[in-house]
Structure 1
C-alpha cells in the first residue's frame, strides 16, 4: 500500500493486502482520533492517539 495511512485505504484495497493489514493492526498501541482505526505504529494513522497500556495484574472494572 505504499506510504498511505490506514485512514487513506479504500475499502476495495483491503482484501488485496490483508497480510500487511494484519501486521499493522496486531497489538495496537495507537488509535486514530479522526476515524478510530487502530495500529501498532503511529505512522499508520493520520491523527494518532496513544492507547494506555493496561496492567496484566489489574482487576477488571465491573
Structure 2
C-alpha cells in the first residue's frame, strides 16, 4: 500500500493487500484517535495513541 496510513485504506483495497494488513494489525500497540483502527507501529496510523497494557 505504499506510504499510506492504515486510516487511509479503502475497503476495496483490503483484499488486494491482505498479507500486509495481517502484518500491520498483529499484536497491536497503538490505536488511531480519529478512526479507532489499530496497528503494531504508530507510523501506520494518522493519530496514534499507545495502548497501555494492564
Q: Which has the higher contact order (CA 8 A, sep 6+)?
A: 2
The interval holding the TM-score normalised by the smaller chain is: over 0.9
Runs of 4 or more consecutive aligned structure 1 residues displaced over 2 Å after TM superposition: none
Structure 1 regions of 5+ residues with no counterpart?
55-62
Structure 2 length normalisation: TM-score?
0.97
* Count of aligned residue pairs for this structure pair: 54
Structure with bigger helix share is 2
RMSD: 0.5
Greater C-alpha Rg: 1
TM-score by length of 1: 0.85
Unaligned runs of 5+ in 2: none
